[in-house]
A and B are shown apart, each in its own frame.
Chain A
Amino acid sequence: MDKLLRSLQTLGALVVFIGQVARSAVTPPIYWGETLRLMNVLAKRCIVPVSLAVAPVGAVISLQGIEIFKLFGAERMLSSFLGTAIFREYSPALASVMVAAQAGSSIAARIGTMKVRGQIDALAVMSVDPVRYVVVPGVIACVIVAPLLSVLTNILGIFSGWVFAVPLGGIDHGAFMEHLTAQITPADLWIGLGKCSVFGLGIGLIAGYLGLNVGKGAADVGKAANDTVVSTIVLILLVDYAVSMALLGAGL
């Protein structure tokens, strides 16, 4: 019973927090300088791990896909499968997981450290709204940086898939490109990028919430960073599934 009450309390606090962030994000002043600085930091920190994490996925899809598609003599179709899988599913989901692991945890740790040191209270004393100054830039930065990174990983994923399909898998280059361009619609790309933005929003909100509600000491900061990663991964997979079902229902 106690546990239930506490989780309800957390849920309520989360809703209130999201409301605060939403209000601060649409009303001026928005600290654009801080946002840009944060975007720069996040993009620099994430670009290598995100690329390294997503590029092998295209290769694995080609590697395993060729065998399956060969059973039906349809290995020329591999590229259209690879394309939809990378653009719509794996690039957004994995890029976001890595952004959560790298950027989300560092945002949570930074806000948590500020909270523990009393800097958040100092901001409030100076009548600077901490949500506005500390959380909103992180959320905006995540929402923008995640899709940008996903564009890069789309290219890398397709390229590594191409490497394993054409030079190593023996599929004709012309057939690969033809099926890739014929089957992939701009809608696939936009769906992928849109998903990335949604995941980025989730990362920023969770990191901000857990960072602001950190416990007392240094160990709690580490715990907040770790909790951010774990709960964002859960959220990403959950939202991904919901979005896939909705898109399937809408026939996209």
Chain B
Amino acid sequence: MVAAIRKLIEFVRFIGLALRIQFTKIPPRDVLVTQLVDAGWGSLALLTMLTIFAGLNLSVQSYGSFERFGGQDLLGMFAAVGGVRELYPVMAAVVCGARIGANLAASLANMRISEQIEALEVMAVDPVHYLVAPRLWAVTLALPLLCGYADVVGLAASYAGAVWQLGLDPGSFISQVQEQVSLADIGTGLFKGLIMGWLVAVISCFHGYSVAKRDGAEGVGIATNLAIVHGAVMCIVVNLFLSWLIYG
């Protein structure tokens, strides 16, 4: 209990530190570009695969539920609204947490136990500025783009599921999507992506950065695991509150 509270206080201090460095200094450009490519481009394949199945699933599963009261023609609307507003941003963030976040935590923890962070300090390079800030910026900038990409792929998959597999009318599906999904909905999804991306990044960086040298290789594994689990839970909970604020 005491340990958990101490960890929480450490986390809050880390957030303060990260925010200050993130917004007062320009992050080193080479690290930022590498991280951005890794976070964005590197996640595309996984995200594409997952979003295709999620989109197909959204169609097929809600078809079963709507059929019970004869509402299957509303599928397009549900798939579009549910997908763009909720499912795809959360999926992009959770996938990002499982892949990018774990990578961040593992790499930072590895640097910590191999004393690379101390080496930076000795060279009078601020490790938070040099290592953490570019990673935070990279994930924060990459996630909204991934969300937008997931929206496109997911909607296409939902369309494919609804029209080709379930035999719904393509025109009505498209017109429902056009009617129900406004630019504001897409923007909200991207905004959620921005917030969740920053959260995932800051949680992963915290877990990686706060590993102690004496934890050794086991500490790296624990930090990675904590980064994934805390990141995913945080995304889902924060998503609820964001939706509540925006749509409630």
Contacts and interface: CB of A to CB of B under 8 A. Distances in A.
Interface of A: 49, 52-53, 56-57, 59-60, 63-64, 67-68, 72, 74, 77, 80-81, 84-85, 88-89, 94, 97-98, 101-102, 105-106, 109, 113, 168, 183, 217-219, 221-223, 225-226, 229-230, 233-234, 237-238, 240-241, 244-245, 247-248
Nearest to B62: A85
Interface of B: 46, 49-50, 53-54, 56-57, 60-66, 68-69, 71, 74, 77-78, 81-82, 85-86, 94-95, 98-99, 102-103, 106, 110, 165-166, 216-218, 220-221, 224-225, 228-229, 232-233, 236-237, 239-240, 243-244, 247-248
Contacts of B233: 49, 52-53, 98
Nearest to B223: A222
A49 B229 contact: yes
13 contacts: A49-B232, A67-B247, A68-B78, A74-B71, A97-B232, A98-B233, A221-B221, A234-B49, A237-B50, A241-B56, A244-B60, A248-B60, A248-B166
Given A88-B61, A219-B110, A56 B225 contact: no
A70 to B, nearest CB: 12
A85 B68 CA distance: 12
A218 B211 CA distance: 15
Contacts of B165: 245
A85 B243 contact: no
Given A60-B239, A101-B229, A234-B49, A109 B54 contact: no
B176 to A, nearest CB: 11
SS of A interface (majority): helix
B236 A237 contact: no
Contacts of B53: 237-238, 240-241
Contacts of B69: 74, 77, 80
A248 B165 CA distance: 11
Nearest to A102: B229
A53 B230 CA distance: 10
SS of B interface (majority): helix
Contact of A85 (B61, B81, B224, B228): B61
A230 B99 contact: yes
Given A89-B57, A113-B218, A68 B74 contact: yes
A81 B61 CA distance: 11
Chain A CB within 10 Å — which of B46, B106, B220, B233 has the most? B233
B125 to A, nearest CB: 24
B64 A234 contact: no
Q: What are the 6 A-B residue pairs with the smallest beta carbon separation, nearest first?
A: A218-B217, A56-B240, A237-B53, A84-B65, A244-B60, A226-B102
Contacts of A234: 46, 49-50
B191 to A, nearest CB: 16
A68 B81 contact: yes
Contacts of A88: 61, 64
B248 to A, nearest CB: 6
A63 B245 CA distance: 11
A233 B50 contact: yes
